[in-house]
Amino acid sequence: MSDTKKTTPVNQRGRDGHRLKRMRDQGLKPPIAHPQPDEDQKAESDFALDCGWGRLVFAQTFNSPDALAGALREEKADRRDIALYVRDPHVLLASAPQEIFLDPSHTYRLDLAGYRPSKRTPKGYFIRRLTSQQDAIAINRIYASRAMVQVPPEFFWSKRDARAIIYFVAEDERTGQIIGTVTGVDHARAFNDGERGSSLWCLAVDPQARHPGIGEALVRRLAEYYAARGASFLDLSVLHDNEQAIALYEKLGFQRVPFFSVKRKNSINERLFTRPETDEGLNPYAAIIVKEARRRGIQVDIMDAGGGFFRLTHGGVSIRCRESLSELTSAVAMSICDDKATTRRIVEQAGVTVPPQVSGDAGNDAISAFLVEHGSVVVKPARGEQGRGISIGLTTEEEVAAAVAEAKTVSNDVLIEAMIEGQDLRLVVINYRLVAAAIRRPPIIVGDGRSTAAELIAAQSRRRAAATGGESEIPVDAETRRTLAAAGYSLKSVIPADQEVMVRRTANLHTGGTIHDVTEEVHPVLIEAAVKAARAIDIPVTGIDLMVKSPHEADYAFIEANERPGLANHEPQPTVERFIDLLFPLSMPESVRQAMRRTGI
């Protein structure tokens, strides 16, 4: 958008008449009348709108590059201001080359007069406006999961009835959980924009949401909201390499327009204006640690990006790591975790509750007796990770025999364990203190009445892979087929609309499971068991898996200990920060030191 334009009332009325007719033909509601700028109303000058995460600085309201650069200098700490609709970005950059940079994003515009709403309605969730402070907290949770700048919850709440800014959320009909959000800005109400524009910001979907099309539904709801209020267009800014988002916007009719945005060179924007690091091959679990180390000024040397190996050096100390596994974890502790039977014996001796277990080589009579005693069992390799070779809920000798044979393809030693019903709880213990706790849930598909189970699984796998950097996908194997069969379906079955079907009983993230933070509500007995297990193994960083009735109750059974827990799975809990604190205590921020002194840690 360039300078604010004026339109004669006669011409404007003619255009509005044609526009209203088009909207009625397309099934859209007529615009709700509200005051619009006219020849006597000029756009506010030097206007910036506070959005909580930073300000939108509307460049077309500034008369000089120096004034615009000065506005960007007023950016607050830990916030990200954006100057948009910059007319002459080269001139603006020349006025402050050390402070600002040209944002590598494209601007897209949707002509609301030609927009056609979808005839399909969301299934399993609905879109509504923000209505409570709990909504605000949920939005921040989604922002954190997407590495976006968070907003003080009270800011969201203070703007719930604002004229210039609006928040929509997507709510799961069954759980009531907020699974997506989008922010809209009305330019006319914000600064008397003569072009009657609007813009879309902060579109974010919970990476673990199981419903398809949430992002599209949020965009459409915002477009229809502004179309009904007489806005001419809806603009948005998207990073040039965000192919998935760009494909969605172009599908909805957005077209690229030649407008530019400028930002300040701050730590939040650093990856946008500095040359790419040479660690693009790192997986998310290694990359998040490397990022925190660099933020603290710790030297990072990538040893093998594909394997997640790197060396951290600070204050004369050098430590090699593979993701969250460091040289501080002894070979003995690692070997204990590597053998699930040994892990079980060690933690049981320390007083941790473990489920009954028998070896897969115990013989047919012993296995048959174990199955009769417990009714349902779990078969898993004694060695292995990422959920490979695990079969759950087996009730017949034939199923157990087949599962043992499959598990032996992963490890020669196989364990048969009593099936403990409940929820899968992961507790991350660092330096023998709980840092994060989360319930892990098995992957679920939601039917649409048209797609087969195989097609729904493939779509869900694509979403999980996109949300986790390729780390989470649902394998189509014997366990998946068995779980589907238990629900009365096969891979070729068309799942009825809105029908939820569990496709694996294991909740491992690498096989499509999802994770839900419960750190603030986990029962003290469960925390005590996790810390006790970590001390028994003598391991400074570990993920302890328990099967629990509820994270709020004391009942549990120990499942296993992971010597290399994925710290990237537990945002917004400070798992990575505490990991770096353990490795390099002198790099700990003073605010953390003070907090630890206050709590006596």
pLDDT digits (tens, 9 = 90+) for 358-385: 888 888 888 889 988 888 888 888 887 6
Q: Pick the more confident residue, 31 or 458.
A: 458
Whether 90 is covered by a domain: the verdict is: yes
Q: How confident is the model at residue 277 (pLDDT cuts 50, 70, 90)?
A: low
User: pLDDT band at 388, cuts 50/70/90?
Assistant: confident
Number of other CB atoms surrounding residue 570 within 10 Å: 21
In sequence order, what are the residues at sequence separation of 6 or more whose Cβ sits closer than 8 angstroms to the Cβ of residue 495? Answer: 445, 446, 447, 448, 449, 451, 452, 453, 456, 489, 501
Q: Which of 271, 299, 330 is the last residue of a domain?
A: 271
CA-based R_g, the chain, Å: 27
Q: What is the pLDDT of residue 411?
A: 84
Identify the three-state secondary structure at position 430.
Answer: strand
Q: Two tokens at 197?
A: 């524009």
Beta strand pairing call for 125-129 and 100-102: unpaired
What is the pLDDT confidence band of residue 122, given thresholds at 50, 70 and 90? confident
Query: Per the domain annotation, does 370 fall within a domain?
Result: no
Tell me which of 154 and 57 has the higher pLDDT: 57
Confidence of residue 431 (pLDDT cuts 50, 70, 90): very high
Residue-level pLDDT at 35: 43
The predicted structure's pLDDT at residue 572 = 76
pLDDT of residue 32: 43
pTM of the model: 0.65
Tokens of 275: 């040359």
* CATH number (domain holding residue 29): 3.40.630.30
Residue 555, pLDDT score: 93
Query: How far, in Å, CA of 322 to CA of 320, rounded?
Result: 7
Could you give the number of structural domains in the chain? 2
Q: How far apart are CA 448 and CA 460, in angstroms?
A: 13
Q: What is the pLDDT of residue 42?
A: 67
Report yes or no on 407 lying in a domain: no
Which of 133-147, 225-239, 261-275 has the weakest average pLDDT? 261-275
- Categorize the per-residue pLDDT at 596 as very low, low, confident or very high, splitting at 50, 70 and 90: low
Looking at residue 571, its pLDDT comes to 74
The predicted-structure confidence for 389-407, as pLDDT tens digits, reads as follows: 888 888 888 888 888 888 8
Q: Please check the confidence at residue 256 and state whether its pLDDT lies above 90.
A: yes
- Which of these ranges, 48-52, 110-114, 502-506, 542-546, has the smallest mean pLDDT? 502-506
Average pLDDT, the chain: 86
d(CA 78, CA 335): 42
Q: What is the pLDDT of residues 125-166, one digit of tens each?
A: 999 999 998 999 999 989 887 878 889 888 988 888 788 999
Instruction: Give the mean model confidence (pLDDT) for residues 20-41.
Output: 47
Range name among 92-101, 142-151, 278-287, 427-436 with the lowest pLDDT average = 278-287
Asked if residue 504 lies in contact with residue 442, where contact means CB atoms within 8 angstroms, the answer is yes
The token duo for 538 is 């003598």
Tell whether the model's pLDDT for residue 295 goes beyond 50. yes
Amino acid in the structure at residue 133: Q
pLDDT tops 80 at residue 460: yes
**What pLDDT shows up at residue 127?**
96
Q: At 15, is the pLDDT very low, low, confident or very high (cuts 50, 70, 90)?
A: very low
pLDDT band (50, 70, 90) for residue 597: low
Q: Is residue 210 part of a domain?
A: yes
Last residue of a domain, one of 486, 503, 520: 503
In a domain, 336, yes or no: no
Residue 24 lies in a domain: yes
> Do 103 and 294 form a contact (C-beta atoms < 8 A)?
no
Q: Which domain holds residue 455?
A: 445-503
Mean pLDDT along residues 118-131 = 90
Give the span between the Cα atoms of 390 and 409, in whole angstroms. Answer: 11
Environment class of 590 (CB within 10 Å of its CB; exposed 0-12, middle 13-18, buried 19+): exposed
Most confident of 86-95, 318-327, 491-500: 318-327
Longest dimension (CA), the chain: 93
Residues in the chain: 601
With respect to residue 330, please indicate whether it lies within any of the assigned structural domains.
no
The verdict on residue 583 lying in a domain is no
pLDDT over 50 (residue 181): yes
Show which of 467, 485, 503 is a domain's final residue: 503
Q: Is 288 helix (H, G, I), strand (E, B) or coil?
A: helix
Long-range contacts for 155-164 (Cβ within 8 Å, ≥24 apart)? 155/52, 156/52, 156/130, 157/130, 157/132, 157/133, 159/52, 160/129, 160/130, 160/131, 163/189, 164/49, 164/189, 164/190
